[in-house]
Amino acid sequence: MSTPYQDATLPIEERVQDLLSRMTLAEKIGQLCQTPMLEFEANREAYLEGVRQGRWGSRILADTAWAGNAPGLTVDPSTLNEIQRVAVEESRLGIPLIVARDVIYGQQTVLPIPLAQAASWNPQLVQEAYRGIAREAASLGIHWTFAPMLDIVRDPRWGRVIESSGEDPYLSSQFARAVVNGFQGESLSDAESLLACAKHFVGYGAAEGGRDYDTTEITDNTLHNVYLPPFKAALEAGVGSLMSGFNDLGGEPVSGSRRLIRGWLKESQGFDGLVVSDWGSISDLAYFGVSRDAAGAAAMALKAGVDMAMTNEAYEDHLANLLDAGDIDIEAINDSVCRVLRAKFRVGLFESPYVDEQRHLDVMRREDHVAMAQHLAEQSMVLLKNRQQTLPLVRTGLKVAVIGPHAHSKRQHLGSWCLDGKAEDVTSIYEGLIAAAPELEILTEPADFSDDMVECARRADVVILCVGESHRRTGEARNIAELALPAGQEQLITAIGKTGKPLVVVQCGGRPIPSPAAEQYADALLFAWQAGTETGHAVARILLGYVSPSGRLPITMPRTTGQVPIYYGRKPIGKMRDFQDYQPYKDESAEPLYPFGFGLTYSQFSYKNLHLSHQQLDSSENLSVTFELTNEGAVTATEVAQCYVRLPVAETTRPTRELKDFARITLKPGETRTITLQISPEKRTYFALGKQQDFDGQLEVFVGGDCNAKLQGLCELPPGREWHAPGQTGCADHWL
């Protein structure tokens, strides 16, 4: 007999309440627990009995923490259906399991790593590409992904920088929206959508020394101005879930922070979705020493507002006893259960719990998914150097040596947080060049012997040397102390450079790594990241000039590790007044090697005639920033025009530059276009002294092709006021 919660015509809230009213305590606690994949593989009958009893609300398709480092088990739709059938048909209330997997930037079609995606400065394309990834993952029976990662990163020694959009809150916010929209689509209940999860809430990227899982210390001002904005953007985009991080934030481990989760997120931002812990981050509270044992940790996390325990027994083992003892109340459990059920209703699980076991055969690596991955790979690569127009290569009559540790690599281009991509689907750089230019004579050598590579270079007219990090050196728990290429690669670049042959270095990897040898010897330097299955095609099309490079750095490239943390949005220094020629370091410049926003094309662009829509502005008006952009070169190319601001006087010190808008513009040779960028009222606010407030006084505006943008204008803003986002009641000061 059908019950009201099975009636899809009723509003979700009614169905949630109806179902809640029928649940036993054990069933409620079950909804708050997630099991890993291995439990099933290890003990099938016991697992199915657990499902029958309603012991778990979710199943994660991963067998270890830092799953990205150990992509072991594959997803099998028929197993998922088998388990789901027991949940739906044999458990008392028939509540389906929500199936989760870390689909971070690809399923079988693999996009560039998120840091590279951010280098495209093309959120629209990223959104479209993620529709394809969601479609592939959903076709296997996955409902929920643990992405996007929204951690701001200003220390690239941290291995997880690959999963971030870099150092800037505005740029990261644009990608937060894009990825959430891409995963969740128009409707979460669409069979081609995934529930997204904004992570890691919050501040995990500020790990001291770039050491994963380490302590974070973030002031309230920086938390609100830098680390929270991407989460706000994800919330605005309707993200259905968030993950609480591993980190201790200023003495308060986030997964136990009532102030941040129940307070800021749920109360002040009105988030009615689901918060899941990170892998074991609930019992970590006992390790941190903020609770005495796992039971205390469970109580603390539940009170803080962590709704579901990822693969963690703390909730399963202790919530019932804690309730008996009066240490937690039933309202907190009910609230968390409602959030889990709400997510399941939103995803459409009650209507369609099963997956069509054949569907993935038509969906994996669909032509449009692959095309999108290739566009994104092309747009993410950043040309850092191009002496005397070494690039693009002429397409005929040349002997080209394609050598180096990454000339033939495949798996490496998938990056470390890729569970289901297949190395055999990756086009290597060597293969990409052969496919794109059959008329070139291409010489190569296996990656291992540097003497042979030098010989090969000598026989060529031009050398493409592919260097960089392997995926095993990036990702979770894979930090490096020194921002340097792996052992031997500086020497290899030097040896090849000394042959005197024109040298193009293609640098692969997951973080900005300076190379002194490439600086000295490379005629051209293309930063290719870990660009996914289509890496080889994208590199070839750029090197051969089929497309002009259009990526821009989403993170500052330091000269040396000692400059870290280095990012463009730094605060002013008081003593600059007295010491005009002050140098922060005696032994190194304070300037980055390449600044945030930087990237070359095969053309040059000029910016002229900046016009601001207002000299004086009302607090509710948009400030339009108009200028003329001209392609001064001989080829069609794409510029990323960037608009920065500075607020010279404010309640607290402010960054010397802040990105506020940008646009990708493709112009033909000689073409000029009038471009308008926007600084809306929402972008003219900041958090200071416990409140969100308007910018006021003078506003300096800069426009150009990187964070050192030169074209400048000035506008007068009205007196500031405390500010609340539309529809919000305030910043809930008592939570701050």
CB nearer to ligand BGC: pick between 47 and 146? 146
Phi-psi region of 310 (alpha: psi -120 to 50; beta: other; left: phi over 0): beta
Gap between the Cα atoms of 182 and 193, Å rounded:
8
C-alpha distances in Å from residue 637, one per residue of 206, 239, 386, 605, 676: 36, 35, 15, 9, 19
C-alpha distances in Å from residue 121, one per residue of 655, 675, 708: 21, 16, 17
Is 15 a binding residue for ligand BGC by CB under 6 A? The answer is: no
Work out which of 279, 529, 607, 662 binds ligand BGC, going by CB under 6 A.
279
Nearest Cα residue to 102 out of 55, 65, 139: 65
For residue 9, what are its two tokens? 């015509």
Run of H or E residues at 318: helix 313-324
Q: Which residue has tokens 């088990």? A: 73
CB nearer to ligand BGC: pick between 63 and 335? 63
CB nearer to ligand BGC: pick between 311 and 550? 311
Question: 339 to 378, contacts with ligand BGC by CB under 6 A?
Answer: none
Run of H or E residues at 63: none
Is 284 a binding residue for ligand BGC by CB under 6 A? The answer is: no
C-alpha distances in Å from residue 103, one per residue of 146, 198, 356, 417, 449: 7, 13, 19, 8, 36
Cβ–Cβ under 8 Å, residues 446 and 562: no
Cβ–Cβ under 8 Å, residues 312 and 277: yes
Cβ–Cβ under 8 Å, residues 563 and 154: no
CB nearer to ligand BGC: pick between 400 and 419? 419
Active-site entry in 155, 278, 425, 696: 278
Is 382 a binding residue for ligand BGC by CB under 6 A? The answer is: no
Gap between the Cα atoms of 336 and 98, Å rounded:
15
CB 237, min distance to ligand BGC, A:
19
CB 279, min distance to ligand BGC, A:
4
Cβ–Cβ under 8 Å, residues 418 and 590: no
CB 263, min distance to ligand BGC, A:
23
CB nearer to ligand BGC: pick between 279 and 605? 279
The window from 62-70, 297-305, 323-331, 571-579 that contacts ligand BGC (CB under 6 A) reads 62-70
Question: 125 to 184, contacts with ligand BGC by CB under 6 A?
Answer: 146
The window from 59-67, 187-195, 467-475, 519-527 that contacts ligand BGC (CB under 6 A) reads 59-67
581 Cβ contact partners less than 8 Å away, ≥ 6 residues apart:
none
CB 189, min distance to ligand BGC, A:
23
C-alpha distances in Å from residue 498, one per residue of 96, 358, 384, 653: 64, 56, 21, 48
Q: Which residue has tokens 């993952």? A: 137
CB 695, min distance to ligand BGC, A:
35
How many chain residues interact with ligand BGC (CB under 6 A)? 10
Is 102 a binding residue for ligand BGC by CB under 6 A? The answer is: yes
Is 65 a binding residue for ligand BGC by CB under 6 A? The answer is: yes
CB nearer to ligand BGC: pick between 419 and 496? 419
Work out which of 199, 410, 541, 657 binds ligand BGC, going by CB under 6 A.
199
CB nearer to ligand BGC: pick between 205 and 551? 205
CB nearer to ligand BGC: pick between 143 and 199? 199
Cβ–Cβ under 8 Å, residues 545 and 468: no
For residue 643, what are its two tokens? 């608009």
User: In 97-249, which ranges are E strands?
Assistant: 98-101, 144-145, 197-201, 241-244, 248-249
CB nearer to ligand BGC: pick between 71 and 169? 71
Work out which of 33, 67, 207, 659 binds ligand BGC, going by CB under 6 A.
67
Dihedral, 296, 300, 302, 305 alpha carbons, nearest 10: -170
CB 77, min distance to ligand BGC, A:
20
CB nearer to ligand BGC: pick between 61 and 659? 61
CB 278, min distance to ligand BGC, A:
5
Work out which of 5, 40, 47, 66 binds ligand BGC, going by CB under 6 A.
66
CB nearer to ligand BGC: pick between 194 and 539? 194
The window from 63-71, 118-126, 150-158, 422-430 that contacts ligand BGC (CB under 6 A) reads 63-71
**What 3-state class would DSSP assign to 439?**
coil
CB nearer to ligand BGC: pick between 278 and 431? 278
Measured in whole angstroms, how far is the alpha carbon of residue 201 from the centre of its chain? 13
Is 684 a binding residue for ligand BGC by CB under 6 A? The answer is: no
Nearest position to ligand BGC, beta carbon: 146
Q: Which residue has tokens 């501040």? A: 203
The window from 64-72, 83-91, 263-271, 369-377 that contacts ligand BGC (CB under 6 A) reads 64-72
Residue 733 catalytic?
Answer: no
CB 199, min distance to ligand BGC, A:
6
CB 65, min distance to ligand BGC, A:
4
Cβ–Cβ under 8 Å, residues 285 and 271: no
Strands 524-529 and 503-508, sheet pairing: parallel
CB 143, min distance to ligand BGC, A:
15
Gap between the Cα atoms of 289 and 14, Å rounded:
41
| Identity at 143, one-letter amino acid code | H
Spatial strand order in the sheet of 441-444: 382-386, 524-529, 503-508, 462-468, 399-403, 441-444
Measured in whole angstroms, how far is the alpha carbon of residue 327 from the centre of its chain? 38
259 Cβ contact partners less than 8 Å away, ≥ 6 residues apart:
252, 735
Work out which of 128, 278, 316, 523 binds ligand BGC, going by CB under 6 A.
278
Gap between the Cα atoms of 27 and 430, Å rounded:
56
CB 223, min distance to ligand BGC, A:
20
CB 246, min distance to ligand BGC, A:
6
CB nearer to ligand BGC: pick between 149 and 701? 149
CB 60, min distance to ligand BGC, A:
6
**Mask 225-264, x = binds ligand BGC (CB under 6 A)?**
----------------------------------------
C-alpha distances in Å from residue 448, one per residue of 405, 493, 511, 515, 593: 7, 14, 23, 20, 30
Work out which of 476, 639, 661, 706 binds ligand BGC, going by CB under 6 A.
476
The window from 50-58, 61-69, 357-365, 452-460 that contacts ligand BGC (CB under 6 A) reads 61-69
The window from 58-66, 254-262, 432-440, 607-615 that contacts ligand BGC (CB under 6 A) reads 58-66
Is 62 a binding residue for ligand BGC by CB under 6 A? The answer is: yes
Return the CA Rg of the chain.
Answer: 26
**Mask 481-510, x = binds ligand BGC (CB under 6 A)?**
------------------------------
Cβ–Cβ under 8 Å, residues 99 and 141: yes
Using CB under 6 A, list all residues that contact ligand BGC. Answer: 62, 65-67, 102, 146, 199, 278-279, 476
What residues act catalytically? 278
